Structure 1
Amino acid sequence: MVDTYTIYLVNKSADTQIFWCFLERPQELVSDPGVYANSSASLAIASNQPGTNFFAVPVQYKVGAGASNNAVGLDVVVTSSVTNNASLKDQWQADYKTIPPQQGPTMRLLGNQAPANSISITSGEFDKAKNENGGWFSNQSFGIQTGAGFIGMSWSPKPQQKRTLTPKLSFYIAIGDYGSNSLADWNTVSTNSIQVNVPTDFQYANATVTYDASGNWSKTPGKPPTMLIAENLDWLRSDEHNQLLALAYLSDGNGQIDYLKSVSWNSSASSDADFTYLTGTITVTTALTAAFAFFVLSNTTFTVNSIVGGTTVNFTYSGSQNVQAIKDMFIVGAKLLFGGGSGQA
């Protein structure tokens, strides 16, 4: 089973945006207006910011309980004074105290006989009316603790109330004026966001969410393309990749594979610590069929200046590799991929 789902964030809007992550409610809580969205997971991302930005969401549920002088409601900051990791089929009880004095709750694991794929939370016996008349309010929470913060939901528990929750791995990515652990309305969260669902929106536990210049959302399974390129530079530079490129050129009729027969170098080479300019002439074993613009050898591109008689090629190299490294590539029999062809050679 996947341990962590990662949601990569791309901001293509003109401004810095604060992205928030929310966890969708279990179905059992959807119709309860007293259950509020609660998140402290946010990330500020500048316009077209390079680098990698993401929410990493572990599949580790949390149950929590607390009490404070603040009643549970919109825009109220709610945090739990006691939290526990919870597994599917766990049965938890939160024991709240009747005032006086004002005390925080405790929690205990009763067993693991909850329905399959569910977690149950029961509130113990306490005098809720007396507590609230005295300005002491209980809260209860369920969600996931991510590296960026808590994502989940909170509500005001009733005495001896049992909630059986079937977690749903579905997330809302939003931007807006939310506050850390400040309770939010579910309609607001779900309307001004994009929903990302496990498993359909993920590839190998990764998904990418983009907020574009027009204020629209999009999502794609997998990592961002720029990240995939960076992770696969070794492959892109490999002989196997060059062979695939060669096949692509050949299938389009725009390229040709040939083999090095001989090489000679002009005396006009120039090189310093950062740049090399080198010219030379090669012969190939088979007559070239087009006026190619370049050839690739050992993951390095050379510019074709002219082709004489179909088998003689005058070329130029300009780049960061030193002279000797370039010359060492030209071994008799080496495979050359010619591309950018037009007309006859």
Structure 2
Amino acid sequence: MVDTYTIYLVNKSADTQLFWCFLERPQELVADPGVYANSSASLAIASNQPGTHFFAIPVQYKVGAGASNNAVGLDVVVTSNVINDASIKDQWQADYKTIPPQQGPTMKLLGNQAPANSISITSGEFDKAKNENGGWFSNQSFGIQTGAGFIGMSWSPKPQQKRTLTPKLSFYIAIGDYGSNTLADWNTVSTNSIQVNVPIDFQYANATVTYDASGNWSKTPGKPPQLLIAENLDWLRSNEHNQLLALAYLSDSNGQVDYLKSVSWNSSAFTDAEFTYLSGTITVTTALTAAFAFFVLANTTFTINSIVGGTTVNFTYSGSQNAQVIKDMFIAGAQLFFGGRSGQV
């Protein structure tokens, strides 16, 4: 079974965005208006910020209980005094105390005979009306503790109430003015967000969510493309990969394989978070037989501006890859695949 699901975040909007992660309610709580979204998992990402940004969500459920001077409701901060790991089929009891004095609750595991795929939470006997008239309010929570914070839901428990919950691994990624552990309305959360569901939206336990310049959401299974490239550079530079490229480019007899001898870079370079422009000159070991339009190295295409003497090639790169990543591809002896034959050199 997968231990952790990872949701990668990409911000293509013009502004820094504060992304939040929320856990969808179990079906048993959907119709209850007294159950509120509760999250402290947030991550600020600048416009087109490079690097990797993600929520890593372990499949370890939590049950919690608390009591404070704050009544459970919208925009109220709710945290638990006691939190426990919970497994499927666990039966938990939260014991709240009747005032005076004001005391926090305790929790205990009763057994593991809850219905299949479910977790049960029972509230013990206490005088809720007396407590609340005295300004002492109980709360109960269910969710997941991530590295970025808690994601889940909270409600006001009733005396001797039993809730049987069937967890749903479904998440909302949202942006907005939410507060850490501040209770939020489910309609607001679900409307201004994108829902990411296990397993259909994940590939190898990874999914990517993008917020674009127009304020639209999109999701794709797997890691972001730029991360996949970075993780597979060794393969992209390997002889095995180059041989596959050679078969593709030479199958129509219009290409040529050559090997890098040396490279020099011009000073006319430009790079920012989205775009890189580089120009340079390479020499190859064997004279080129045609005036090719491009060459491919490590699965990246470079434009040929001119070929001098058959072995010297002036070229440019324009694209989204990091400048240093591009330069690191040019290793003496690397295979190059020339294509776009347009005549004799």
TM-score for the superposition, normalised by structure 2: 0.81
Question: Using a 3 Å threshold, how does the CA distance of structure 1 residues 27 and 299 change in structure 2: closer, same or farther?
Answer: closer
Do the aligned partners of 1:239 and 1:299 also contact (CA within 8 Å) in 2? no
Deviations 1:174-211 (A, max 9, x none): 00000000000000000000000000000110000000
Write the distance in 1 (CA, Å) between the matches of 2:324 and 2:9.
43
For the 8 Å contact 1:35–1:155, the answer to whether it is kept is yes
**Contact 2:65–2:82 at 8 Å: present in 1 too?**
yes
Alpha-carbon displacement from aligned partner over 1:198-229 (angstroms, at most 9, x marks no partner): 00000110000000000000000111111111
Give 1:53 shift.
0.6
Q: CA deviation at 1:46?
A: 0.5
Q: Distance in 2 between matches of 1:89 and 1:278?
A: 59
Aligned CA distance change for structure 1 residues 123 and 290 (closer, same or farther; 3 Å): same
CA distances 1:83-130 after superposition (whole Å, capped 9, x unpaired): 000000000000000001000000000000001110000000000011
Are the counterparts in 2 of residues 97 and 105 from structure 1 also a CA contact under 8 Å?
Answer: yes
- In the alignment, is the contact (CA less than 8 A) between 1:13 and 1:212 conserved in 2? yes
Kept in 2: contact 1:40–1:179 (CA 8 A):
yes
Q: Deviation at 1:231?
A: 1.0
Preserved contact between residue 48 and residue 273 of structure 2 (Cα < 8 Å): no
The answer to whether the 8 A contact 2:50-2:273 is kept is no
What SS does the aligned partner of 1:327 have?
Answer: helix
> 1:278 aligns to what SS in structure 2?
strand
Tell me if structure 2 keeps the 8 A contact 1:8–1:224: yes
Q: Distance in 1 between matches of 2:277 and 2:164?
A: 72
Gap change, CA 1:32 and 1:326, over 3 Å in 2: closer
Name the SS for the 2:243 alignment partner: helix
Please identify, of 241-250 and 69-78, the stretch whose mean Cα deviation from structure 2 is larger.
Answer: 241-250
Q: How much has 1:30 moved relative to structure 2?
A: 0.2
CA 314–206 in structure 1, closer or farther in 2 if over 3 Å, else same: closer
C-alpha distance in structure 2 between counterparts of 1:101 and 1:213, whole Å = 54
Mean CA deviation greater in 39-48 or 233-242: 233-242
Q: How many residues get paired?
A: 345
Q: Do the aligned partners of residues 73 and 299 (structure 1) sit closer, same or farther apart at CA in structure 2, a change above 3 Å counting? A: closer
Does the CA contact (< 8 Å) of 1:210 and 1:217 recur in 2? yes
Query: Structure 1 segments of 4 or more deviating over 2 A?
Result: 250-254, 256-340
Partner of 2:124: 124
Using the TM superposition, give the Cα deviation of residue 240 of structure 1 relative to its aligned residue in structure 2, in angstroms: 1.6
* Deviation larger for 207-216 or 277-286: 277-286
Work out the CA distance in 1 between the residues paired with 2:165 and 2:83.
16
Shift of 1:268: 22
With 260-269 and 296-305 compared, the bigger mean Cα shift is at: 260-269
Contact 1:239 1:298 in 2 (8 A): no
* Alignment partners' CA distance in 2, 1:147 and 1:236: 32
Q: CA deviation at 1:246?
A: 1.7
CA distance 1:124–1:48, shift in 2 (3 Å): same
Partner SS for 2:251: helix
Deviates more, 1:86-95 or 1:299-308: 299-308
Unmatched 5+ stretches in structure 1: none
Q: Distance in 1 between matches of 2:267 and 2:152?
A: 70
2:8 maps to 1:8: yes
Name the CA distance, whole Å, in 1 between partners of 2:273 and 2:175.
47
Larger deviation, residues 220-229 vs 236-245: 236-245
How far does residue 334 in structure 1 lie from its aligned partner after superposition?
A: 10
Question: Structure 1 residues 40 and 253 mapped into 2: Cα distance closer, same or farther (>3 Å)?
Answer: farther
The alpha-carbon deviation at position 235 of structure 1 amounts to 1.3
Distance 1:331 1:146, change over 3 A: closer
Contact 2:259/2:336 (8 A) holds in 1? yes
Asked if structure 2 preserves the Cα contact closer than 8 Å seen for 1:238 and 1:299, the reply is no
**Does the 8 Å contact 1:254/1:342 carry over to 2?**
no
Task: State which drifts further: 322-331 or 13-22.
Answer: 322-331
Quote how far apart the aligned CAs of 1:244 are.
2.2
CA-to-aligned-CA distance 1:61-87 (integer Å, 9 cap, x gap): 000000001110000000000000000
Assess, with a 3 A threshold, how the Cα gap between structure 1 residues 239 and 195 changes in structure 2: closer, same or farther: same
The answer to whether the 8 Å contact 1:11/1:212 transfers is yes
2:42, 2:148 within 8 Å by CA — same for their partners in 1? Answer: yes
In the alignment, the residues of structure 2 paired with residue 201 and residue 271 of structure 1 have an alpha-carbon distance, to the nearest angstrom, of 33
Decide whether aligned partners of structure 1 residues 298 and 57 sit closer, same or farther in structure 2, where only a CA change above 3 A counts: closer
**How many angstroms does 1:297 deviate by?**
8.8
User: Cα gap change, 1:51/1:138 in structure 2, threshold over 3 Å: closer, same or farther?
Assistant: same
Shift of 1:342: 1.5
Question: Which segment drifts farther, 84-93 or 221-230?
Answer: 221-230
Q: CA RMSD in A?
A: 6.3
Name 2:331's counterpart in structure 1. 331
Seq. identity, %: 92
Q: Deviations over 1:8-38 (max 9, x none)?
A: 0000101111000000000000000000000
**1:291: how far off?**
2.6
CA separation of 1:107/1:338 partners in 2, compared to 1, >3 Å: closer, same or farther? same
2:223 corresponding residue in structure 1? 223
